């Protein structure tokens, strides 16, 4: 096929496309325009949205790990395994690990929101009256709800300011809550695996 014939063929194809477009029903053109206009760009990230996403990530891992531990294993500690050469005497139980994370969330994030601590919250081990798995997980979820409330207060203007009764900046407090939770999530993972349970975050999609 010579060059002139190729150019003629390409011109015919392009012309056909233009003709088809010209005779397309007006309604179809309107649909095409409307569908294009619905693809609005994603909102730009903010300090608050970035930190909130970090909290959501660790919240899911900790809540999922808490829920997968059976009720009869919730007070498990490695001390009960009597591992030769190990020394787990006095370590927190799985339940107290969960309560500790929740209690710390309250201590770390409440200065950002101005919320009063729960009356029964006295120390880092959480309320002594919370004993059942259901009550402990409810307390845990409430503490992360406080975290999301705290991040909503963050702005570019105030992140380096210190809230009342704190020497830390707002940004440090917001992210320290995340870092602290990840630290204790690692311990929860070990407790789960000692009981033959694979943490939900470590399972394959088929499991």
| pLDDT tens digits for range 109-127 | 999 999 999 999 999 999 9
Asked if the 47-202 domain carries CATH number 1.10.3080.10, the reply is: no
What pLDDT shows up at residue 196? 96
In this model, does residue 160 exceed pLDDT 60? yes
Average pLDDT over residues 76-81: 94
Neighbours of 53 (CB within 10 A): 11
Least trusted range by pLDDT, from 27-31, 55-59, 74-78, 93-97:
27-31
Least trusted range by pLDDT, from 3-12, 52-61, 171-180:
3-12
Average pLDDT over residues 135-163: 97
What pLDDT shows up at residue 203? 86
Average pLDDT over residues 192-202: 95
What pLDDT shows up at residue 23? 37
Average pLDDT over residues 129-150: 97
Mean pLDDT over the full length of the chain: 85
Cα–Cα dist 88/80, whole Å: 9
What is the three-class DSSP state of 8? helix
In this model, does residue 178 exceed pLDDT 50? yes
User: Closest Cα to residue 70, out of 196, 204, 190, 182?
Assistant: 196
What pLDDT shows up at residue 206? 67
Residue-range domain boundaries for the chain: 3-37, 47-202
User: Closest Cα to residue 190, out of 91, 108, 104?
Assistant: 91
The secondary structure of residue 199, as a DSSP letter, is -
Full-model pTM? 0.78
In this model, does residue 8 exceed pLDDT 70? no
């Amino acid at each position: 096929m010579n060059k002139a014939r190729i150019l003629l063929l390409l011109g015919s194809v392009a012309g056909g496309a233009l003709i088809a477009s010209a005779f397309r029903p007006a309604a179809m053109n309107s649909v095409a325009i409307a569908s294009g206009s619905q693809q609005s760009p994603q909102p730009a990230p903010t300090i608050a949205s970035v930190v909130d996403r970090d909290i959501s990530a660790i919240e899911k891992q900790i809540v999922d790990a808490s829920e997968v531990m059976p009720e009869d294993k919730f007070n498990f500690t490695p001390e009960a395994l009597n591992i030769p050469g190990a020394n787990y005497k006095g370590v927190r139980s799985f339940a107290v690990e969960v309560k500790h994370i929740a209690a710390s969330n309250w201590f770390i994030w409440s200065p950002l929101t101005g919320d009063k601590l729960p009356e029964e919250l006295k120390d880092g081990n959480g309320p002594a009256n919370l004993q059942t798995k259901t009550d402990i997980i409810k307390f845990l979820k409430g503490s992360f709800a406080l975290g999301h409330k705290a991040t909503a207060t963050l702005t570019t203007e105030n992140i380096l300011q210190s809230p009342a009764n704190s020497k830390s900046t707002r940004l440090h407090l917001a992210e320290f809550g995340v870092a602290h939770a990840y630290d204790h999530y690692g311990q929860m993972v070990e407790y789960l695996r000692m009981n033959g349970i694979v943490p939900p975050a470590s399972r394959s999609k088929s499991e």
